[in-house]
Structures are given as C-alpha cells and as structure tokens.
Amino acid sequence: MRRCSFTPSAAARSAGVGKLVSLGQVASVVGLTTIHIFGFDTRSALPLAEKCGVAFQLTNILRDIREDAERGRIYLPAEDLARFGVTAEDLCSGNRSPAFLKLMSFEAARARAYYNESLPLLELIHPRSRSSLWALISIYSRLLERIEATNYDVFSRRVRLSLFEKSWIVVRALAS
C-alpha cells in the first residue's frame, strides 16, 4: 500500500449518513437518467431509482476504500467509523481489525438493503429495458457479494468481477 496522507480535517471530510445519501445522489442522477432512457410510466419509479443509485455508490465506496485512503479521502460515514472504532489511520494502513470487519459487515448490509428496496423498480420500467437494469443490479450486487466473500479484504487487491462473470450476467439478462 502506498503512503497515505490525511490532513487534520480528513475526519471532517468523512461523510455522514446524510452525506452518504448526497454521494449517492451522483449515482441517483445516473439512475434517474437511466430510467428515463429505459422508460417508465409511474413516478413511484423515481425514489426506487435513487435507492438503486445509493446501493451502487455504497458498493463502489466499499470496493474503493484502499484507493480512496491512498488519496487521503474517506467516504464512509463518520458516525459509522466512530461507532465501530475505525480510524483514518486504520484505513490507510489496511488494518483489517475486528472493528473494521464489523464496520464493513454493517455497510454491506446497508447496501444490500438499498438493493432489496430498489428491486420493485424492475417492474416499473418498460419491459424492453428490464433485462438491462437487471444486469446492472446483478453486476453490482455480485460485486458486493464478492467483497463479502473475501471477508472484506479490500486492501490486498481490488475486488472485481471477471469479464466472463459480467458477460455471463449479460447473457442471462438477455435470455430472460
């Protein structure tokens, strides 16, 4: 791992849960734009698309902890770091302590809840586009599963899906 440099305000820059949702708004905008492309007929699709976007963003945050720490950035909610006793230095050093593992389990469960809450979105977009959204959700959900399967080892290597795995998901989506 490269040397990390956190300024004294690094903890202040760490996102809170409200900020996490704000970070998710970036993905939500993509999600909202995407469902406009996919097509939908009811406004009840909009908050579900936002939840889906937050799930995508949180999965990316969990996957990218090492890279973000190396750049002096923390995107995990500050109150969660404090609650579990995980410091910026722990993230920078790649300390997979019991506290870090509990934090990651908590955040993964949060992401999973957002995925589950957003699943009704699949029925609200136009039928011709459902397989595309299903593939996106499946790829990101599988990435979260992979993070969990490595026992949250996001420090030793970047957790990813192979091209074959992603391709297989797309084939399954198109076949359904």
Backbone angles phi, psi at 125, to 5 degrees: -95, 165
**Residues found in the chain:** 176
- Residue 113 to residues 38, 116, 119, 141, Cα–Cα distance (Å): 23, 5, 10, 11
Predicted pLDDT at 34: 80
Domain 10-175 has CATH 1.10.600.10: yes
How far is residue 8's CA from residue 163's CA, in Å, rounded to a whole number?
40
Q: What is the pTM of this model?
A: 0.85
Predicted pLDDT at 8: 40
How far is residue 76's CA from residue 4's CA, in Å, rounded to a whole number?
16
- Residue 2 to residues 32, 72, 84, 146, Cα–Cα distance (Å): 36, 11, 24, 24
Which of 40, 66, 69, 64 is closest to 52 using CA atoms?
40
Q: Which amino acid is residue 51, in one-letter code?
A: K
How far is residue 110's CA from residue 65's CA, in Å, rounded to a whole number?
16
- The alpha-carbon radius of gyration of the chain (Å, integer) is 17
The number of beta carbons lying within 10 Å of the beta carbon of residue 16 is 13
- Domains of the chain, by residue range, sit at 10-175
Residues of the chain with pLDDT under 50: 1, 8-13
Structure tokens at 8: 């004294």
HSE, CB side, 13 Å, CA atoms: give it for residue 158: 8
Q: Read off the pLDDT of residues 94-110 as tens digits, 9 standing for 90 and up.
A: 999 999 999 999 999 99
